[in-house]
Chain A
Amino acid sequence: MTPVLDQQFDVTTLSPLRGRVLAAARTAGLPGSRAVDVMLALHELAANAVRHGAGSGRLRITRTASELCCAVTDAGPAGPDPWLCQPGHGLWLVQQAADRVSVVTGPAGSKVTAVFSLPLPQAGLSARRGAASWESARGVP
């Protein structure tokens, strides 16, 4: 699957990364406030990789018909610390913002995936189409 965004990052590129994530989330069809949530959450994951992981990492966003799947990987020896899941900390924010979060840690590093549901344009369109045909049917004598 072709990613919507595939970007290496380190401490010097966190700010431009935020801009690219926000643009990618909007382009993928998320409404403004949800796109901001994606940006806020992915910044926290990237910052965790920089601070507690390998110092750099890779962010990959792919989309399906219904979801935006955002994975942050780093080659650090340990996964995210459990205390990061407390209120006020980065992973807490990610868990509040995303629809699903998973963390995989292994000898090669860690991968945190945050999934955001996309709005369903098909449902909206068919509902409108249904309403339009009902209107036109009623207009026929």
Chain B
Amino acid sequence: MTDVSLLEISVGTDPSGTVVALSGESDMTTTGQLSEVLAAQLTGGSRHLIVDLSDLRFADSASIRILLVAHRALRAKGGGLELVNPHPNVARTLTLLGLDKMLRVR
């Protein structure tokens, strides 16, 4: 098992709110890392999260489901999760999964 994760996650804020930026590749080997970061945001009181996908070259169904679970938890608190600027490969995953209408993408 490689020690270097395929996925890099950074959390910051901009005028529109908390931004979780993903870069690299997100697959079944990195879902734990991703759900940990999103769970910390949820327990920290976030109601709205922006997930910046500009530098994410790949996402599989397992990692998209983590985003969907977080979106549902945020929606239950009156907020939501918004995906921003997905790479064409990631946008295609969302379409093929049938989730492009369920998650807000811009």
Contacts and interface: CB of A to CB of B under 8 A. Distances in A.
Interface of A: 11-12, 14-15, 18, 33, 36-37, 39-40, 43-44, 47, 50-51, 87-90, 92-93, 96-97
User: Mostly helix, strand, loop or mixed at chain A's interface?
Assistant: helix
Contact of B96 (A14, A50, A97): A97
Interface residues of B, number: 22
B89 A36 contact: yes
B61 A90 contact: yes
Nearest to B98: A87
B75 interface: no
B64 A88 contact: yes
Contact of B29 (A14, A39, A97): A14
Given A11-B1, A12-B2, A88-B65, A51 B97 contact: no
